[in-house]
Amino acid sequence: MNKTTQHSEYLKLVSVYIKPAKEAFESDKLLESQWSALNYLSKPNFNLALNEYEKFESIFKENNVEVYHFSSNKNVKIDSIYCRDASIATDFGVIICNMGKEGRINEPKAQLLAYQKQNMTILGVIESPGTLEGGDVAWLDEKTLAVGHTYRTNDEGIKQLKNLLEPKGIQILVADLPHYKGQEDVFHLMSILSPVDRDLAVVYSPLMPIKFRNELLERGFNLIEVPKEEFDSMGCNVLAISPRNCVMVDGNPKTKKLLETAGCKVTTYAGKEISVKGGGGPTCLTRPLVRIE
């Protein structure tokens, strides 16, 4: 029997949580009231966003992935569409995060309620003053979890993460990320790293810590280097549905070609409204749960 795990970013995806645009954005009126304060590039077009998301979700159905929905919640804002950030999936239970962006502070509790309704095990909750966001966390292998030290994920949050997972034999590998555009920008570890196979990762090296990049090389990763002109369009934000079976935002042809040259199948989706304007690609739009070897 094939082994299932939640400690992977690239194995065959069995189940995933998402929050459809109609549940997160709710209405054009809500978008109008929130997009600017949450630092979107511009206001998403509600109807176009619904169309984009429907096509995005269809990718999972076409790949026989079981899809769960986070429902509408009046206590959270439109950023809740980027549902990876509020929790972390592990084989020992879900870790509920504590958001580093003030406007997203209620999202972890909303996800906790959803998980409790499904009778899912909760391993722990990151408590203030600790902050930790799921976009700063990526499994390198079944026993190694990389975490970015960023403006969204602080030392105390990392300490609490270590306290939850190190006693269970998990190595926590910390990557200290640069200031880049500052505290208001969305800059996570997974802004510069997307593992798509056991030995292949999409990276943006100019913003990657030298020590962390060398660690990836020492672990046998081959690196697909995203060109500068495709970083802001989220060329580095790539979701693996299975090994070398990738999903990315349309508009990154050079990175797509590099992936295909490395033997990857690449599916793109139009993400102007649901991804580009809010700064969240396919990894951000999903909370992967179970994968299978």
Per-residue pLDDT of 163-197, as tens digits, reads 999 999 999 999 999 999 888 777 899 999 999 99
Residue 1 has pLDDT above 80, yes or no: no
Residues near 209 by Cβ (< 8 Å), separated by ≥ 6?
Answer: 175, 176, 177, 178
Residue 245 has pLDDT above 90, yes or no: yes
Are the C-beta atoms of residues 70 and 286 closer than 8 Å to each other? Answer: no
Residue 39 has pLDDT above 80, yes or no: yes
Question: How many angstroms separate the Cα of 95 from the Cα of each of 89, 90, 104?
Answer: 6, 7, 17
Tell me what pLDDT residue 183 has. 82
Mean pLDDT on 27-35:
98
Strands (E), the chain: 4-5, 12-13, 15-18, 66-69, 87-90, 93-96, 122-125, 137-141, 144-149, 171-176, 193-197, 200-203, 222-225, 239-242, 245-249, 265-269, 286-288, 291-292
Pair type for strands 12-13 and 87-90: unpaired
Homologous superfamily (CATH) for 4-292: L-arginine/glycine Amidinotransferase; Chain A (3.75.10.10)
Tell me what pLDDT residue 64 has. 97
What predicted TM-score, i.e. pTM, was given to this entire model?
0.96
Q: Distance between CA 202 and CA 57 in Å, rounded?
A: 22
Residue 246 has pLDDT above 70, yes or no: yes
Residue 256 has pLDDT above 90, yes or no: yes
What's at 148, amino acid-wise?
Answer: G
Q: Distance between CA 124 and CA 93 in Å, rounded?
A: 8
Percent share of the chain, pLDDT over 90: 97
Average pLDDT, the chain: 97
Tell me what pLDDT residue 254 has. 98
Are the C-beta atoms of residues 132 and 157 closer than 8 Å to each other? Answer: yes
Tell me what pLDDT residue 16 has. 98
Smallest CA-to-CA distance from 115 within 140, 136, 90 is with: 90
Smallest CA-to-CA distance from 267 within 288, 250, 291 is with: 250
Mean pLDDT on 72-97:
98
Residues near 103 by Cβ (< 8 Å), separated by ≥ 6?
Answer: 37, 38, 77, 79
Q: Distance between CA 282 and CA 280 in Å, rounded?
A: 7
Provide the pLDDT confidence category of residue 2 given band limits of 50, 70 and 90: confident
Dihedral sign for Cα 203, 243, 67, 27, please.
positive
Task: For the beta carbon of residue 15, count every other beta carbon within 10 angstroms.
Answer: 18
Mean pLDDT on 242-254:
98
